[in-house]
Amino acid sequence: MDSLNHSEDVPPIVLRQFGELLSTRAIGEDVRQLVESIVNGGGVARIDFTGVDGITISFADEVFGKLALKWGLERLRAAIRVRNADDEIARTISFAVNGRLSAPPARAAE
Amino acid sequence: MTQQRIELKFAGELGLWNLPIQMAQWQPVLRAADSREAAAVRVDLSRVSFVTPTAAVALAALLSHVRKTRTLHTFEIIRPTNAEVDQWLSRIDFYSLIDLAVEYPFNRWNSDGRFKEIVSVRDERAAELAVDKLYGILQQQPNLAERVASQVASVLGESLANVFHHAEAEYGALFCAQTYSHCNAIEFAVGDVGQGVARSLSRNPAHRDVLDDPVKALERAMMPRATGRPDHNSGWGLKWGAGAIQRNRGEMLLYSGQAAYRVTSEGGQVTSAATWPGTLVAMRFRTDRPLMLNEVMNDLDPKGTMPGGLFEPF
């Protein structure tokens, strides 16, 4: 993770462009793909919540929960910076991340 | 083939609170549809005195479903004699949705700030528009508690998400909302005639046991992380919404198959009920009380902490 580019050269992902309320997994998938393209290129994804009034658990899970599951918490911390998220949005993100990381494997019951 | 005649007579108030009772009348129609028996159905609304979005969505979804999927039924709708109820049904596009030609005796009202007409929500883009519309309506309400507008709209977003990720409903879902400023409340309903909760959950081997037990299926659906698709979905949405309802002192109805789960500030209770052929979620929130979503999440995830290093100071 030391190789990640922490410079401000990579433009932030301004979520307001997707709406004041980010409610669907479809939007979440678009954002996750943007994040992955930045991180796979060696950058740090700065996600800016300025102007976003609320998010759903589905959106948070689609972006942060699924990336946490794919990368693990340490890589997620190194690869992403969340900006201007108020307490409730931040809590929803942490809820989604913790939910994915503490969930039993999906196929455990088979 | 003989055609049976079925008459449904509705009277009084049709709302979220008595939907299972309303559904009891529909059972002969659903049985006839399932067996493809010819039936002439008369739906008498003449003595109805009040209708909320929950009942309107239920009526429209059932009428649309039976008319679209079964060709052997003929329908007759007797409109309410109460002019206010009849006009409200016109304004929310109930009659046009069921293909009943009704001439508007008034200018088309602008619904901004008060209600959202019944719309068919067939994809996630339509769901985003519905959430945005509800958010706009809520922002115009008097006595609005802090964050209630975004919180209620977010809970709606979770309810609509279930349609696309779990219901497998051929025609999507119907959605309608109405504010009640005199009592600081809003009610919305999302109804589909898809596969229902039990069948959806049982796709996950961990929940296969609920397939033939509709009561157990709804109990399971209201548990944390209950989902038929654990690889794709988190299974928190309904529990999150129910927790918000309890703190807000609102009311929620999750209705699917032969069971109904009702949530109030006192908690949740599931009962056997007349069949709903799919899933219907209805919620009534007070707009003057917060939903306290942070508390809901703290209860569900008591050890949860912010992943350090992820957030920059706000």
DSSP three-state, residue A13:
strand
Exposed, middle or buried: residue A74 (CB in 10 Å: 0-12, 13-18, 19+)?
exposed
Question: pLDDT tens-digit profile of A94-107?
Answer: 999 998 988 766 54
Question: pLDDT tens-digit profile of B141-197?
Answer: 999 999 999 999 999 999 998 877 766 667 789 999 999 999 999 999 999 998 899
- Between chains, do B153 and A23 touch, taking CB under 8 Å as contact? yes
User: What is the C-alpha separation between B119 and B103, in angstroms, rounded?
Assistant: 19
pLDDT of residue B296: 94
Strand partners, B187: B178, B284
Long-range contacts of B105-111 (CB under 8 A, 24+ apart): none
Nearest CA in chain B to A60: B234
Mean pLDDT for chain B overall: 89
Closest CA to A64 of B293, B304, B300, B238: B304
Helix (H) or strand (E) holding B299: helix B293-300
pLDDT at B287 over 90: yes
Give how far A70 is from chain B: nearest CA, Å.
12
CA distances from A67 to A75, A92, B83, B278 (A): 9, 15, 54, 33
| pLDDT band (50, 70, 90) for residue B68 | confident
pLDDT at A40 over 50: yes
pLDDT at A108 over 50: no
Q: For an interface test with B, which of A8, A15, A23, A69 has the most B Cβ atoms less than 10 Å from its Cβ?
A: A23
| pLDDT band (50, 70, 90) for residue A1 | very low
DSSP B32: H
pLDDT at B128 over 60: yes
Show residues of chain A in contact with B147, CB under 8 Å: 54, 88
Mean of pLDDT values over B271-293: 96
- Asked whether the beta carbons of B252 and B286 are under 8 A apart, the reply is no
- Asked whether the beta carbons of B192 and B210 are under 8 A apart, the reply is no
User: What is the C-alpha separation between B199 and B204, in angstroms, rounded?
Assistant: 10
Comparing CB atoms, the residue among B135, B151, B293 nearest residue A20 is B135
Question: pLDDT tens-digit profile of B194-224?
Answer: 889 999 989 889 899 998 999 999 999 998 8
ipTM associated with this complex: 0.88
Mean of pLDDT values over B225-244: 85
pLDDT of residue B237: 83
One-letter amino acid at A47 equals: I
pLDDT of residue B163: 76
- Asked whether the beta carbons of B155 and B240 are under 8 A apart, the reply is yes
